[in-house]
Amino acid sequence: MNTSPLVMGAVAYAPKVVTIWEGFKAWFAEQGLAFDYRLFSNYEAQVEAQFDGTIHLAWNSPLAWIRAERIARARGLSVRTVAMRNTDCDLRSLIVVRADSPLQTGADLRGKTLGVGAIDSPQATMIPLHHLRQLGLVGGRDFAVRRFDVLSGKHGDHIGGERDAAVAMLAGEVDACCMIDGNHLAFGLDGTLPAGSTRVIETTEPYDHCNFTISPGAPEAAVARFTELLLGMRWDDQAVRPLMYLEGVRQWKPGRVSGYPQLEQAVDELAFYGADGAILDADYRY
C-alpha cells in the first residue's frame, strides 16, 4: 500500500459528512489505496486549498468547480473532474407559487417579489435568476428579490434557504420561490408544502451539480486508482451501499463539465466571481 495518502477536501455542511468520509477512508484502505480527507467550513477555503498543496482533490459544488477552473486558467494551470454522482446529472430548478396565485408564468413576476435561497446557491438563486433573465426579467429591476441566506459558504449544499423561502411563499410573504426539483418533491413529502398547495410556473433547463475536482499537480497514479475504485462501486455491494446511501448516490458516473454553462453565465451576470476566480460580490459572507 502507498503510505502517502491521497488527500481530498470536503465541506462540512452536515454532521454526516464525517461518517461518510470516515467510511470511504476505511473502504479505500481495504482496497489498497491510502486515502485521507480534510474538512472545510466553506467552499471558498476548499478551492483555495487546491492551489496551495493542501489537498489533491476536492468534492466540489458546481460553483466551487467554476471558481477552481477560473483560478487555474488565470495561473496557466488546469483542473479536471473525474467523477460525479448519478444524482448530480440533469437537474432542474423550479419557480413555485401558491396554488391560488394569479401568477401563471415567469413573465407575471414583473413587479412582484421572488424568494430565493442563499446568495451562493446555484440551484435556488443563481440559475433561477439566470433563467428569468433569459425571459427578459432582471432581479432588482423588474421584480424584487428576497434572499433567504442560510449557511452561506456552503453553496446551497443544504435545504435551509429553500425551505425558508417556501414557507414564506405559503405565508404570502413572497409571491413565488425557487428550489431544486428534488426539494419540491421532498417538501411535499415532509409536509412543508402540503399536497395541492403549490404550482410550478417555470422550470429551468437541466444542469449538473457536484463533482470530484482534481487539483493541479495531484499524483496521477493515486487519482487513477481512486477513480477506478469509485466508478467500480455497486449499489448491490453491501460493503459500500451504506456509504453510497449516505452520500445520496446509486452509481458514480465519469465527471463531465457540459452541465455548467447556465451557472457560468449566472456567475458573470451577477458579478459573483471574476474571470480569475476573485470573489466580487461585496455582500457575500462565508
pLDDT digit string, tens, across residues 93-138: 999 999 999 999 999 999 999 999 999 999 999 999 999 999 999 9
Residue 43 grid cell: 467552499
Does residue 257 surpass a pLDDT of 50? yes
Question: Hey, what's the torsion of the CAs at 114, 257, 184, 141, to 10 degrees?
Answer: 10
Q: Cα 23 vs. chain centroid, distance in angstroms?
A: 22
Average pLDDT score, the chain:
96
Type of residue at 198? T
Span 241-254, average pLDDT? 95
Task: Evaluate if residue 206 carries a pLDDT over 60.
Answer: yes
The pLDDT of residue 152 is: 87
| Contact assessment for residue 35 and residue 25, using Cβ atoms and an 8 Å cutoff | yes
At 28-85, the pLDDT tens digits run 999 999 999 999 999 999 999 999 999 999 999 999 999 999 999 999 999 999 999 9
Span 6-31, pLDDT tens digits: 999 999 988 999 999 999 999 999 99
Closest CA to 47 of 281, 282, 259, 276: 276
Average pLDDT over residues 179-193: 94
Tell me what pLDDT residue 151 has: 85
Q: Does residue 1 surpass a pLDDT of 70?
A: no
* Strands of the 198-203 sheet, one edge to the other: 144-147, 113-116, 176-180, 93-98, 198-203
DSSP-based helix, strand, coil % in the chain, nearest 5: 35, 20, 45
Report d(CA 234, CA 94) in Å as an integer.
Answer: 31
pLDDT at 87 over 50: yes
Domains of the chain, CATH where assigned: 6-88+208-269 (3.40.190.10), 93-203 (3.40.190.10)
pLDDT of residue 157: 78
Name the grid cell of 276: 480569475
- Grid coordinates representing 50? 487546491
- Alpha helix locations (H) across the chain? 16-30, 43-49, 62-74, 127-134, 160-170, 181-190, 220-231, 241-246, 261-269
DSSP single-letter state for residue 204? P
What pLDDT band is residue 2 in, cutting at 50, 70 and 90? very low
Q: 196 is written with which cell numbers? A: 395541492
Place of cell 449516505: 246
